[in-house]
Structure 1
Amino acid sequence: MKDFHKSISKALDAQRSAVARELYKRQHNLDTELSRRFGQLSQERALEDFESHLAYLSEAIRANQPMLFLDHIAWLKSLLEGMKVPAEDLSAHLDLILSVLMGYLPEKAKAVPTHFIQLAQRQLPNMPAQLNPFIDDGDEYEEWNELASNYLQALLDADREKALMLIEEAFQRGVTIKDIYLKVFQRTQYEIGRLWQINRLSVAQEHYCTAATQLIMSQFYPKIFNNPRRTGYRMVATCVGGDLHEMGIRMVADFFEMEGWDTYYLGANMPIAGIISAIKEWNAHLLALSATMTFHVSTLAKVIEAVRSDQDCAKVKILVGGYPFNIAPDLWKEIGADGYAKDANEAIIMGEKILNCSSYS
């Protein structure tokens, strides 16, 4: 069954550009607000959007995880809601995708994408019209909301000095680095992503906020890397090729460093050969991989396959994380990882578990 879904995904990917072009032609013939919105875009941008929808569908089929596609459609619904585009237009767009796909896929491959798309259509009315804020009263980190909100506002105001001052003052009051990472940095990054998704933030603003937080994180590095090596374990942490969102995996590496591990952080967009070389060079016990977007999952799966195929990497354990794994909790099993963690704190626990080294203190 797994190979069958992979073959369908491969067939869809091979036809993605052609399908997108056909969608572009047919969408203009629909008398909907969504069609008018697409008409305001350049052909190049519209085709990019169509190919993006198909990429999410392909990845969901490859992993046999409908939630990966359903989550994308839920996001799309909330985005269009803010543009005053009714959900009925989105449902009609899904009909169009399905109709076009049927002309490009072999007969035996049609049932699976039909199931995924029709499932999205059935659940569309129950999908939220708006994405909930990540800094909100009543959540588990409510006591941190004031600091997180003030920090976020400083970033949105492009006031990096104030943002740094807020964090330095919190640290001087005794707030731990781990709490700052998880309850301030992580939540504000999620909220920045949400604001970008609903067109409340430009790409430039999103990049500025992320770069500012990375700079502020670096202020803690003398303290983080001054911890004694207590475990004897080594880990390599990186984002896979094509994934430029490195902050989450950077936090994971820093948490392991604070726990006394030797960490080797490779950064973003790392090619497979470089990852395997690092595992060998540093004789790593654990490889931590991150995929931020659904369309990075297949690349991450290829990394795991390549690592498993190399005899010199046979003993390394693989821990994965990132947004796609949070919305499809069994996804890590499908791609052959040893474990999954939803955040940096949980990564420590899972790393210990899969290496059977939880007895160290």
Structure 2
Amino acid sequence: MTLHPEHRAEDLCPAGTQLYEQALRKGRIHIEDLAPAPCLVDCGLLHPTVEDSNWLEPVAPIVALHELLRASEERIASEWRRKERLAGTFAPLMRISTGRPATADTSANRLLSSSQQINQAISRAMAEAQEALSVQPVTHKSQVHEAAQPVSLDRDQALLDRGGRIRTLYQHTQRHVPFVIARYEQLKGDVEARTLDEVTDRLIVIDRSVAFIPVSNTPAVALEVRHPALIAFFVTTFERLWRLATPMYPEAVQPPSLNGVTPRQRAIAALLVEGHTDAAIADRLGMNIRTARVHIAKLAAALGSESRAQLGYLIGQSGILDQEG
């Protein structure tokens, strides 16, 4: 007897794909038909019917995809929080070691303690670079980043002129920000941008050999990272978020609405159910608190809610969080 090879849902085998399609067309299959593809149960694509456990019915693809993406996002978020804790733990220790002879390990990371140092380090790293990956969340320092736009544009265009590639992740709220739009109207070359409801802290990875990350919430302080293991982790995190993101440039795709509920409304609904305040929701989604409250009011009106407590209950009953985001 040949054992069925283990695999994940994104690597669904041909037998599994064929049997899942059959189950979707017929509405159910007998458990004996599962033999060629037991992976469908392991991946959560088939489950026993309530009436008879000898029959299996398919989970709707949109529901299955939502659950799988949510699990992936949770893993990424967990790993990113671990990265932030590690950076926060070791940043003060690296200050203590300043002035001591650098070993191979300590020279792999360098603390940059001013905006000038950060910009100079990024410029040096990009001088001959062929690739730049970055995550640009909405922060209280957005005006500072806007003021630095000319310098950033010159660096990026020089990279593109060498035949390099630039990819950037933003939050959905930045899709229509004038200075963000203007940036892509000026850049010429292999440049792409995508958006998500939530992104990680600011990240720049250049040529997959050096990265720049913020140090906690300290203004104008960053960590220059050259350790190969950390760089590999940052790149993997970026690539996974990139696959989940919605294209913004060069071909814009609007985040899809399902049953009249927008992705932003679903994101707000999820945070409301988790018990976050209006201020926390605004911060997480990169919008001001007034805009967040407008969206919450629209959501409450759509669901017929008269109070915050009732709104949480109605969100759960509506099923909007079970839709694909």
Q: Give TM-score, length-normalised by structure 1.
A: 0.26
Q: Give TM-score, length-normalised by structure 2.
A: 0.28
Higher relative contact order (CA 8 A, sep 6+): 2
Larger helix proportion of the pair: 1
